[in-house]
Amino acid sequence: MPSLTDSPAAPAPSPSATVGAHVVFDVREPSLLALQVVAANDDGASLRATLDGTPVEVREVRGPAPFTRQHLVECGPGTLEIAYDATVQPGSGAASTVDEAERILMLRPSRYCPADRFTGYGATRFPGPDAPALERLRAITDHVHDNLQYVSGSTGPTDDAVDVLLAGQGVCRDYAHLVVTLARAAGMAARLVAVYAPGLFPMDFHAVAEVEVDGVWHVVDATRLAPRESLVRICTGRDAADTAWCTTLTGVADLRDVVVTAVADQGLPTDDGDTATTLS
């Protein structure tokens, strides 16, 4: 099996995965919500919204690359239920290439990834630009995995990569933010991906990083909590500010319950954490 210092092997056909999200909100005044729960390779036809049992319109909005689509729900007060279920192909396989405009965007600091503050930190801990890119990426991923402790609820919605590094703990998005930040500080374009992750425990929406190596996005997960070959892309962005599964744009909507499902229909593959892997 190749390591991160090798080129990725030719992809094998991926088995299907069953993914879904069921969410309940208590809407206290007229509200507009932006959702990102539909798998990127699904048409979203099965996404449904009801308010007190009555169907509510769901409107799709697409953004410029690399940002993926969002679904808008506008409703008055009441109990809003969102349901999404689909059988899709996991994203491991066909490589996602990097265009020049995206490379520039994903090298810049962003809200949760202040890469300009990490240049000195990275220079003393990781191989320099003369080392192979995959070797540098592996060193960053191993460093984040080894120096953070996964603790549910340990960080809040405003904590960035600096806060996470100082605290020494976080959740999946914090691991991904730190990988993205350190990669950008090292001159490697990097972005955050929200995914469904069969095998994840406890089950929830998951976040991983993608880092450019030789013009291709390589997916890395410093938490190592789920096999990357089974990941299903939902949306992509600079950091969690772009990939939140729900944003209340106007009004007041309190989250009452959320249940996420992600099951590999033919069992989980083995992931040693070192294999060079791409996410379509």
Integer Cα distance of 155 and 96 in angstroms:
31
Predicted pLDDT of residue 272: 85
Task: Sketch the domain layout of the chain as residue ranges.
Answer: 17-88, 100-243
Token pair belonging to 119:
């240049």
CATH of 100-243 given 2.40.320.10, 3.40.309.10, 3.40.50.2000, 3.10.620.30: 3.10.620.30
Predicted pLDDT of residue 198: 96
Cβ atoms 181, 118 nearer than 8 A:
yes
Integer Cα distance of 145 and 162 in angstroms:
16
Predicted pLDDT of residue 92: 54
Closest by Cα among 112, 110, 104 to 157: 112
Q: How many CB atoms lie within 10 A of CB 152?
A: 11
Predicted pLDDT of residue 4: 53
Integer Cα distance of 209 and 61 in angstroms:
24
Name, in order, each residue with C-beta under 8 angstroms of 203's C-beta and a sequence gap of 6 or more: 260, 261, 262
Predicted pLDDT of residue 267: 86
Sequence letter at residue 5: T
Q: What is the DSSP letter of 117?
A: G
Beta-sheet strands, E only, within 76-142? 78-88
Q: How many CB atoms lie within 10 A of CB 231?
A: 27
Integer Cα distance of 140 and 77 in angstroms:
47
Predicted pLDDT of residue 91: 66
Predicted pLDDT of residue 3: 42
C-alpha distances in angstroms, 30 versus 33, 36, 50?
Answer: 10, 20, 14
Q: Which helix (H) or strand (E) holds 196?
A: strand 190-196
Q: How many residues does the chain have?
A: 280
Predicted confidence pLDDT, tens digits, the chain (280 residues): 334 544 444 344 457 999 999 999 999 999 999 999 999 999 999 999 999 999 999 999 998 878 889 999 999 999 999 999 999 988 655 678 899 999 999 999 999 999 999 999 999 999 999 999 999 999 999 999 999 999 999 999 999 999 999 999 999 999 999 999 999 999 999 999 999 999 999 999 999 999 999 999 999 999 999 999 999 999 999 999 999 999 999 999 999 999 999 999 888 988 988 888 988 7
- DSSP letter for each residue of 36-92: --S-TTS--TT-EEEETTEE--EEEE--STT---EEEEEE-SEEEEEEEEEEE--SB
